[in-house]
């Protein structure tokens, strides 16, 4: 098998097929769609434009593979996981380059993703040995009662373009570790990074045919593939990493077809800065949390809520540091701010910044762009009716809000329908720790940025940030509990 299985070079442009049943396949009529580089909008690759027929082939392949995979021993599954991790390590630099070119991820973040992917796969190998159930109490004498966890069947995973490589693996590892098979539908904005690379690796690692399948599609054609997922009796779970708008549509359809859902959605993540904080540390933390990956990940800091006593000093230092962040080609190791994913993404960010300014917001730095690079932007005095004050905006823009007391800071942090990540920075760690449970978010970080993740931790959101958790806790999302009871002797009946 070649290092680039499923791809061929045609006139200097790579052409990718989709992956189903352990085979690389062309879409019907050899239909392809174009993938463009965010940095310079140059054509990067052409990818199979799948539809209902391709999705059906993938679902059938996953269904056929399920019975055998569900019975595979923990040792064999773990061996496959470790092989996959070794391949990721071997291809570290190459995959990082693909991420930088296809998604605009800076090369430092792209390389970090590979290290995180390898570590995640290795940790997930151990999940195979976690308890598969529990012994239950029984009121009937002589009865042994147990709850046994069993895999569900086929899981349909929707993977995003941002943090594409990490999140594509996250959407696959828990389901297959739990004994399910998976069909991945990657974002059309990053089909290679969000799915096809994963397919290459599981093939080389020797996973059985049909355990992991990847179906790609052209822009605007996701609905046809989703139709197959919802109509198939084999698909038991819809697993989404994406946005609220998509989640609401999928949840509505899942309700109609009685399919389970697990959803990791966006965030409007607050960073609270209390007045006893080390100011330089607060500035460094805010800069990283706000502008990491150009503000294009769900954990980015969107609002900074700072106590009035230190607000002016914080804003002055934060603005000065932000102005020093270098922008440019994401493949350049010096670049901190790379391009946004599409011209439409740039326009959305710019429109929302301009609307806020028109309504009276103050601009401290940024608010301009060239090509697809939007300069890191700090706003204050943003009115509550501005879209950017209420809706997640995927870009390097952060709002600073001033409050008088820690209690007001918590109240401000909870003034949103989102609830993914949050942070509190304080000199007195215990003071911040006491405030933490009052914040309505799935993740509360004390003296750490909102961009914070541990592989084994139950990361996930509340309210409009979704439901379900990552890490070993997530295995439950992809399993049924079967109650088995055995009575030694004869039961007595009333008639």
Query: Do 219 and 344 belong to one domain?
Result: no
Residue 171 falls within a domain, yes or no?
yes
Q: Which two tokens stand for residue 369?
A: 């762009």
Which residue in 276, 370, 279 sits closest to 320, CA to CA? 279
Residue 453 falls within a domain, yes or no?
no
Residue with tokens 């934060």: 318
C-beta neighbour count of 158 within 10 angstroms: 23
CA contacts within 13 A on the Cβ side of 381? 9
C-beta neighbour count of 485 within 10 angstroms: 12
The span from the CA of 197 to the CA of 211, in Å, is 15
Q: Are 337 and 294 in contact (CB under 8 A)?
A: yes
The H or E element that residue 110 is part of is helix 107-127
Query: Do 40 and 104 belong to one domain?
Result: yes
For residue 375, the 8-state DSSP code is: P
Which residue in 196, 268, 178 sits closest to 471, CA to CA? 178
Q: Are 185 and 217 in contact (CB under 8 A)?
A: yes
Q: Which pTM does this prediction carry? A: 0.93
Query: Do 245 and 110 belong to one domain?
Result: yes
- Residue 399 structural domain: 269-446
The span from the CA of 46 to the CA of 10, in Å, is 9
Residue 118 falls within a domain, yes or no?
yes
Q: So what's the pLDDT on residue 3? A: 56
Q: Which two tokens stand for residue 74?
A: 């923990």
Residue 293 falls within a domain, yes or no?
yes
The span from the CA of 245 to the CA of 98, in Å, is 28
Q: Which residues are catalytic?
A: 264, 298
Q: Are 327 and 293 in contact (CB under 8 A)?
A: no
R_g of the chain, CA atoms, integer Å: 24
Query: Do 37 and 180 belong to one domain?
Result: yes
Query: Do 416 and 477 belong to one domain?
Result: no
The span from the CA of 252 to the CA of 272, in Å, is 35
Could you give phi then psi for residue 213, rounded to 5 degrees? -135, 145
Q: So what's the pLDDT on residue 44? A: 96
Residue with tokens 């009716």: 385
Query: Do 417 and 344 belong to one domain?
Result: yes
Residue 247 falls within a domain, yes or no?
yes
Please report, in tens digits, the pLDDT of each residue of the chain (495 residues total).
345 678 898 988 999 999 999 999 999 999 999 999 999 999 999 999 999 999 999 999 999 999 999 999 999 999 999 999 999 999 999 999 999 999 999 999 999 999 999 999 999 999 999 999 999 999 988 899 999 999 999 999 999 999 899 999 999 999 999 999 999 999 999 999 999 999 999 999 999 999 999 999 999 999 999 999 999 999 999 999 988 889 999 999 999 999 999 999 989 999 999 999 999 999 999 999 999 999 999 999 999 999 999 999 999 999 999 999 999 999 999 999 999 999 999 999 999 999 999 999 999 999 999 999 999 999 999 999 999 999 999 999 999 999 999 999 999 999 999 999 999 999 999 999 999 999 999 999 999 999 998 888 888 888 888 888 888 889 999 999 999 999 988 888 899
CA contacts within 13 A on the Cβ side of 203? 21
Query: Do 132 and 167 belong to one domain?
Result: yes
Query: Do 51 and 192 belong to one domain?
Result: yes
Which residue in 228, 251, 233 sits closest to 58, CA to CA? 228
Q: How far from 110 is each of 103, 242, 418, CA to CA, in Å? A: 9, 19, 27
The span from the CA of 474 to the CA of 243, in Å, is 19
Residue 361 falls within a domain, yes or no?
yes
Residue with tokens 């998509």: 246
Query: Do 321 and 246 belong to one domain?
Result: no
Residue with tokens 């960073």: 271
3-state secondary structure of 390: coil
The span from the CA of 229 to the CA of 157, in Å, is 10
Query: Do 260 and 273 belong to one domain?
Result: no
C-beta neighbour count of 30 within 10 angstroms: 10
Could you give phi then psi for residue 148, rounded to 5 degrees? -110, 130
Residue 135 falls within a domain, yes or no?
yes
Query: What is the number of structural domains in the chain?
Result: 2
Beta bridge partners of 20: 23
Query: Do 440 and 469 belong to one domain?
Result: no
Query: Do 414 and 472 belong to one domain?
Result: no
């Amino acid at each position: 098998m070649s290092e680039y299985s499923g791809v061929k070079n045609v006139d200097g442009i790579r052409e990718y097929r989709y992956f189903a049943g352990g085979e690389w396949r062309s879409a019907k009529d050899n239909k392809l769609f174009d993938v463009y580089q965010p940095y310079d909008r140059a054509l990067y690759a052409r990818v199979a434009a799948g539809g209902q027929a391709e999705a059906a082939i993938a679902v059938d392949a996953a269904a056929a593979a399920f019975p055998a995979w569900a019975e595979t021993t923990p040792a064999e599954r773990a061996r496959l996981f470790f092989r996959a991790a070794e391949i990721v390590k071997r291809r570290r630099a190459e995959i990082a380059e693909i991420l930088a070119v296809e998604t605009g991820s800076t090369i430092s973040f792209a390389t970090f993703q590979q290290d995180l992917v390898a570590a995640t796969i290795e940790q997930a190998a151990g999940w195979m040995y976690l308890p598969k159930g529990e012994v239950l109490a029984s009121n009937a004498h002589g009865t042994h009662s147990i709850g046994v966890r069993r895999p569900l069947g086929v899981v349909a995973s929707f993977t995003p373009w941002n943090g594409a490589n990490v999140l594509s693996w996250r959407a696959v590892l828990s389901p297959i570790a739990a004994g399910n098979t998976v069909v991945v539908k990657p974002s059309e904005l990053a089909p290679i990074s969000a799915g096809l690379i994963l397919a290459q690796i599981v093939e080389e690692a020797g996973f059985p045919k049909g355990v992991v399948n990847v179906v790609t599609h052209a822009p605007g054609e996701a609905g046809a593939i989703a139709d197959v997922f919802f109509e198939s009796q084999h698909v038991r779970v819809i697993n989404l990493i994406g946005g609220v708008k998509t989640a609401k549509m999928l949840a509505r359809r899942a309700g109609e077809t009685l399919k389970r859902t697990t959803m990791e959605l966006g965030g409007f993540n607050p960073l609270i800065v209390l007045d006893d904080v080390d100011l330089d540390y607060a500035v460094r933390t805010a800069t990283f949390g706000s502008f990491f990956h150009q503000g294009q990940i769900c954990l980015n800091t969107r609002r900074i809520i700072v106590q009035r006593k230190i607000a002016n000093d914080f804003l002055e230092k934060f603005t000065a540091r932000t102005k020093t962040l270098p922008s440019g080609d994401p493949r350049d190791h010096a670049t901190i701010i790379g391009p946004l994913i599409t011209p439409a993404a740039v326009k959305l960010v710019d429109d929302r910044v301009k609307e806020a300014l028109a309504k009276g917001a103050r601009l401290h730095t940024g608010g301009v762009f060239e090509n697809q690079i939007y300069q890191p932007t700090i706003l204050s005095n943003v009115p509550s009716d501005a879209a950017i004050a209420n809706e997640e905006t995927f870009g390097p823009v952060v709002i600073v809000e001033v409050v008088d007391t820690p209690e007001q800071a918590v109240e401000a942090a909870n003034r949103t329908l989102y609830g993914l990540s949050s942070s509190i920075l304080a000199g007195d760690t215990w003071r911040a720790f006491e405030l933490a449970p009052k914040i309505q978010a799935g993740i509360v970080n004390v003296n750490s940025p909102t961009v914070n993740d541990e592989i084994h931790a139950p990361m996930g959101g509340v309210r409009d940030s979704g439901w379900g958790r990552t890490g070993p806790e997530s295995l439950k999302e992809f399993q049924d509990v079967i109650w088995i009871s055995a009575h030694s002797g004869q039961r007595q009946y009333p008639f």
